[in-house]
A and B are shown apart, each in its own frame.
Chain A
Amino acid sequence: MNAVLLSLLGAVIILDKYALGEFGFSQPIITGTIIGAIFGDLWFGIFLGAMMQLIFLGGLPIGRDIPPDGQAAGILAAGSYFLLRGGNALGHSLFLAVVFGLTGGIIGGVLEVYTRRFNERLYNRFIHHEECLYICHTTGLATAFIRGLCLFLPLFVVSTLITVPGIFPQISQDTLMIIGVSIGLANSFYLFIKVKTVIYLLIGGICGLALAVF
């Protein structure tokens, strides 16, 4: 699959974030699985998606807060890894994929602010032209799609074209796992650990240690 098709697919999937349904298809673990399956490496897609998921587990869109775009980060990390892997060493591809994913997550959050402002203007237009309800609503959906396309296309094109020199930094799967699990643990402790849930954490921790040892 080339960069343009992958961007189109990503832009469709990212509609799930706010615009259509919110069924959870845009969560990094799911997008990683989809993109991994397309490129014929399901497990690595799931792994990359899982790591991105752990990083963005605590980024909650509560109230008016707009966190960095974890969904876009998941699509970018998995997509760019498989595009980069064609012409680069695995360590370099993984490093750049993580960088592209996280940078894209931050840019995605900024773009979301502008998209919301544009949607407010659409709403104001509707207030003054009541007959435009369905047109304004559909334009809002189109804006969400275009936001995704603007975010994915440049980074996927770069991922297709770039060849990384040997001296470039690289990371291994194990290293990414260590950092991913660390931030995932911090996020989950932050979300779930209270006085009355500590007992469940301890049970889980004992079971986890047992699984790790045996």
Chain B
Amino acid sequence: MQSMGFLSDLIAGVGEGRRAEIIRTQKGLFNTHPYMVSYIVGATVRAYDEGHASAEEIRKFVNVAQTSFASAGDLLFWRTLRPALLLLAVILGVNYGIVGPLSFLIIYNVFHLFHRMRGIYDGYNRGWDVIYVLKMRRFKFIRETFEALGALLSGLLFSLAGVNVQYLLVIPLTALFMIMLTRRYSAVLIIISFLLLVFIIGLV
């Protein structure tokens, strides 16, 4: 679906007048991080507007850019920013109700919408040099900040358990799930183990 979405974006950016040319030259597999697409769209639209580059050169740029932005976006959003903010939402939600989910929606969307809008701007202004945006300090700073926040919230998550004796069960269960995760057991197997655990506790 991203391939067709990318083509639709390009047509919207370059203009319906060049629809046939874009579809003919740019149809190919396109897959990158959804929040980072705008950087590539901006740079590609600029390449079409300037008209200096051949379709083959634009295609090569798109191929290189989609891989670079995919790995950067996965690391920044899927692996760091989103889980950290979701942890925050869980802790606030269980303790203070609606504040948790609302805080996630607001902070998360501010960050991702900023990237989507800034991506078009940076992509169009920098052209093919947009890939170097990934080396900018703001990406590293955001990632490191949210990694620290995630670690801090991991510690705070324990506060949900309270100080009841039965909550000591959290320690061996956490160790069990940690072993499964570090040994890279499949997510399905971990969920089945969770289900079995719920079933056994349910029977007891």
B125 located at the interface, meaning its Cβ lies under 8 Å from any Cβ of chain A in the complex? no
On whether the beta carbons of A187 and B155 are closer than 8 Å, the reply is: no
Please report the total number of B residues contacting A with Cβ < 8 Å: 79
Among B86, B112, B170, B182, contact of A182 (Cβ-Cβ < 8 Å): B170
Q: Is the CB of B83 within 8 A of A191?
A: yes
Interface size class of A (residues with CB under 8 A): 35 or more
Q: Contact check, B150 vs A68: say whether CB atoms are below 8 A apart.
A: no
Q: Is the CB of A33 within 8 A of B23?
A: no
Contacts A189-B178, A212-B161 hold; do A140 and B94 have CB atoms under 8 A apart? no
Contacts of B5 in A (CB 8 A): 137
User: Which residues of A7-56 are within 8 A (CB) of B?
Assistant: 18-19, 22-25, 27, 29-30, 33, 42-43, 46-47, 49-50, 53-55
Q: Is B188's CB under 8 angstroms from A22's CB?
A: no
Shortest distance between the CB of B117 and any CB in chain A (Å): 14
The answer to whether A105 and B161 touch across the interface, beta carbons within 8 angstroms, is no
A178–B147 CB distance below 8 A: no
Residues of A within 8 A of B90 (CB): 29, 50, 53-54, 184
Structural contact, B159 and A24, CB atoms closer than 8 A: no
Q: Is the CB of A130 within 8 A of B104?
A: no
Describe B's contact surface by its main secondary structure.
helix
Asked whether B181 lies within 8 Å of A103 as measured between CB atoms, the reply is no
In the complex, residue of chain B having the shortest beta-carbon distance to the beta carbon of A37: B98
Interface residues of A in 194-212 (CB under 8 A from B): 194, 197-198, 200-209, 211-212
Number of A-B pairs, beta carbon distance below 8 Å: 250
Decide if A193 is an interface residue (CB 8 Å cutoff). yes
Bound Cα distance A206, B203 (Å) = 35
Interface hits, B105-157 → A, CB 8 Å: 105, 108-109, 112, 147-157
Q: Does B15 contact A (CB under 8 A)?
A: no
Determine how close the nearest CB of chain A comes to the CB of B115; give it in whole angstroms: 12
Q: Does B54 contact A (CB under 8 A)?
A: no
Known pairs A24-B109, A57-B87; A212 contacts B152 (CB<8 A): no
- In the complex, what residues of B have CB within 8 A of residue A127's CB? 27
A95 near B78 (CB under 8 angstroms)? no
Complex interface: chain A residues within 8 A of B163 (CB) = 212-213
Q: How far is the CA of A80 from the CA of B43 in the complex (A)?
A: 46
CA distance A201 to B84 in the complex (A): 13
Q: Quick check: A212 and B162 within 8 Å, CB to CB? A: yes
Q: In the complex, are the beta carbons of A204 and B151 less than 8 A apart?
A: yes
Q: Give 1 or 0 for each of B81-109: 1 = CB within 8 Å of chain A CB.
A: 01110110110011001101100110011
Task: Give the most central of A43, A50, A207: most B CB within 10 Å.
Answer: A50
Would B7 and A133 count as touching, CB distance under 8 A?
Answer: yes
**Known: A29-B93, A212-B162. Contact between A99 and B104, CB under 8 A?**
no
* A201 x B151 contact (CB < 8 A): yes
**Contact present for A171 and B104 (CB under 8 Å):** no
B197 interface contact, C-beta 8 A: yes
A99 to B192, CA, bound (A): 10
A residues adjacent to B (C-beta < 8 A):
18-19, 22-25, 27, 29-30, 33, 42-43, 46-47, 49-50, 53-55, 57-63, 67-68, 95, 98-99, 102-103, 105-106, 109, 119, 122-123, 126-127, 130, 133-134, 136-137, 140-141, 169-171, 174-179, 181-194, 197-198, 200-209, 211-213
With A30-B104, A200-B148 given, name 4 new contacts (CB 8 A): A46-B101, A58-B83, A140-B1, A204-B157
6 contacts between A and B (CB under 8 A): A27-B89, A42-B98, A53-B89, A106-B188, A133-B7, A187-B181
